[in-house]
Amino acid sequence: MFYSTRLKIVASFLAVSLIGGTVSLLVGTRLLYTAVFNEARMRVSLDLNAAREIYNNRSKGSRQLYPFCLKIRPSGRRLQQGNPPASSPIAGRRESGRNSIL
């Protein structure tokens, strides 16, 4: 079958346009997907770093507070048993017979 030259030119123009449009659509979609995915990964990474920093600061504070609590706890147990430590203001009041701090 013999087609006219005009029909061949129009058909080839449409074919090139469709192929070029499809390729550019695929490449653009891939670039956009990669950009969005990398942005989401970066935000998650920043949020996790912030959460890790908050966790480390709080755990550091509790590690600093733990020895202090250990030092206080034996004094609290002695007070519950009715045997306050010698450096306690309660011990001084009991020895002098006073019932108030004033």
The pLDDT score that the predictor gives to residue 98 is 52
Q: Where are the domains of the chain?
A: 17-96
Q: Where are the alpha helices (DSSP H) in 2-88?
A: 5-80
How many Å apart are CA 46 and CA 39, to the nearest integer?
11
The pLDDT score that the predictor gives to residue 43 is 97
pTM: predicted TM-score of the whole model, two decimal places = 0.47
What does the pLDDT look like over 54-82, one tens digit per residue? 999 888 877 777 666 666 655 555 555 55
What does the pLDDT look like over 42-58, one tens digit per residue? 999 999 999 999 999 88
Q: Could you tell me the two tokens for 34?
A: 């990669």
